[in-house]
Amino acid sequence: MNIFDNALFQKSIYAFLKYGVLAFLILFAMTTIFPFVYSIVLSTHDQEGISSLGVSMGLGIDLVENYNELLQRTAFWTGITNSAIIAILGTVISIFFCSMCGYSLAVYKFKGRNVIFGIMLLSMMIPPVLSLIPYFLIVDMLGLMNTHFAVWVPFTIAPMGIFLVRQYVVASIPKDLLEAAKLDGAGEFRIYSTIVMPLLKPSLATLAIIQFVFLWNNFLQPLVILEGDKAVIITMIRSMQGTPDAPMGAIILGSFLSMLPLILVFVVSSKQMISGLTSGAVK
């Protein structure tokens, strides 16, 4: 009898494949997370410790020293505060602006709607780096150089966010409800703010996730607009890299701390964040 026809043999091959695949997935997940774990290791060593670390994953004793070095070389907490101001203000305002625009496009029929819709679509296709120079020019002309306002305002009308809200309004706000409110004498803005906004909550939560993650991590605009005490945390950390005898332990500690807020939020609500950030693709 052929060994390949043996049921036990087939079963064990199957089990071997199954656990092999599972082991691969786990190994791959560990590799993915490795840089984050390793950054914790690195941030506990001083310069000498890092260069003699080899493949060891042992923790050092210089965490406090690195932290002090970090504070000495950069205005770390100022940077964190600046990043937070930009991300929070930008997110909150964009919730209002995107929902207003999306609502308008979803509910009303008016002259120029298709033109506006088309321009929005086109503006999404322009790679951000190509609009960087015009953006820099206008910020310069308006005298908004080195202000946080210039960094978050252009993103409060993100077309992606507007479309997100529009889709949601079309799919889940009944027209009858709006008409009933209208018959009861509610003004257009009142209908939007007291009836529509609360119903939009799920899509606005998604929008908030997308906007906050984007604004917190955004590097290009702050790099060309902000400097000194106005700079965001990641441009501050990046500029430490360029200094001679750059203390890698302190830099890595700073990098890790700058990611920590988002990592913590992700650990708590990974499901919502994943579905939010891929909502353009996955409905």
For another protein, the binding residues in 60-119 under the rule CB under 8 A are: 96-97, 100-101, 103-105, 107-110, 113, 116, 119
Question: How many helices (H) does the chain have, and how many strands (E)?
Answer: 16, 0
Taking alpha carbons only, the member of 66, 84, 85 closest to residue 240 is 66
Minimum CB distance to another protein smaller for 4 or for 110: 110
Minimum CB distance to another protein smaller for 204 or for 237: 237
Taking alpha carbons only, the member of 211, 202, 210 closest to residue 277 is 210
Max CA-CA distance within the chain?
86
Min CB(8)–another protein separation in Å? 19
Binding mask 216-245 for another protein (x = CB under 8 A): xx-xx---x---------xx-xx--xx---
Min CB(13)–another protein separation in Å? 12
Give the whole-angstrom CA distance, residue 102 versus residue 157: 10
Could you say which of 86, 151, 213, 225 contacts another protein (CB under 8 A)? 213
Give the whole-angstrom CA distance, residue 217 versus residue 91: 13
Site for another protein in 248-267 (CB under 8 A): 248, 251-252, 255-256, 258-259, 262-263, 266
Q: Which residue in the block uniquely carries the two structure tokens 């650990």?
A: 267
Give every CB contact of residue 92 below 8 A, 6+ residues apart in sequence: none
Minimum CB distance to another protein smaller for 75 or for 160: 160
The kind and range of the H/E element at 274 are helix 270-277
Binding mask 125-164 for another protein (x = CB under 8 A): xxxxxxxxxxxxxx-xxx----------xx-xx----x--
Site for another protein in 2-31 (CB under 8 A): 21, 25, 28-29
Min CB(15)–another protein separation in Å? 14
Phi, psi of 61 (to 5 degrees): -120, 10
Minimum CB distance to another protein smaller for 6 or for 96: 96
